[in-house]
């Protein structure tokens, strides 16, 4: 059971480039989300999805796009990377049922130069 898998683990981008962070889960979870972690800021919610075809914005959505075409996958797209998007990104999934655990991926370290 792989859980939540994020790729790539490390990436360096130039300002203005685009890229997609991949997230896949094999637990048939309905709920998936993306967080970013910055020093001294904890984790902040970027976007989330409550099921295939349904997404919504979190606390810090600007500069990011998401889509959810399947239950398993929830990619995060940076259309035009900026240095302010240098961060560690975590994907998470859960069933959404009260009391159930939220599972996190191992993180993707992104540097924008």
Partner 1 sequence: AQSVTQPDIHITVSEGASLELRCNYSYGATPYLFWYVQSPGQGLQLLLKYFSGDTLVQGIKGFEAEFKRSQSSFNLRKPSVHWSDAAEYFCAVAAGGSNYKLTFGKGTLLTVNP
**Which residues of this protein are in contact with partner 1, per CB under 8 A?**
31, 33, 35, 40-45, 48, 50, 58-59, 90, 92, 94, 96-102, 104-107
Residue with Cβ nearer partner 1 (12 or 102): 102
Shortest distance, position 80 Cβ to partner 1, whole Å: 27
Whether the CA torsion 19, 49, 107, 82 is positive or negative: it is: positive
Shortest distance, position 38 Cβ to partner 1, whole Å: 10
Residue with Cβ nearer partner 1 (64 or 90): 90
CA distances from 113 to 12, 24, 60, 103 (A): 7, 27, 21, 30
Shortest distance, position 37 Cβ to partner 1, whole Å: 8
Residue with Cβ nearer partner 1 (14 or 99): 99
Cα–Cα distance for residue pair 5/23, rounded to 1 Å: 6
Shortest distance, position 107 Cβ to partner 1, whole Å: 5
The answer to whether 91 and 23 have CB atoms below 8 angstroms apart is yes
The answer to whether 18 and 80 have CB atoms below 8 angstroms apart is yes
């Amino acid at each position: 059971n792989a859980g939540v898998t994020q790729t790539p683990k490390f990436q360096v981008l130039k300002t203005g480039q685009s890229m997609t962070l991949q997230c896949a889960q094999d637990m048939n979870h309905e709920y998936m989300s993306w967080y970013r972690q910055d020093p001294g800021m904890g984790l902040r919610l970027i976007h989330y999805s409550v099921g295939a075809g349904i997404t919504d914005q979190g606390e810090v959505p600007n500069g990011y796009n998401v889509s959810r075409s399947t239950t398993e996958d929830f990619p995060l797209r940076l259309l035009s990377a900026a240095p302010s998007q240098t961060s560690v990104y975590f994907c998470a999934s859960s069933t959404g049922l009260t009391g159930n655990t939220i599972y996190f991926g191992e993180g993707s370290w992104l540097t924008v130069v």
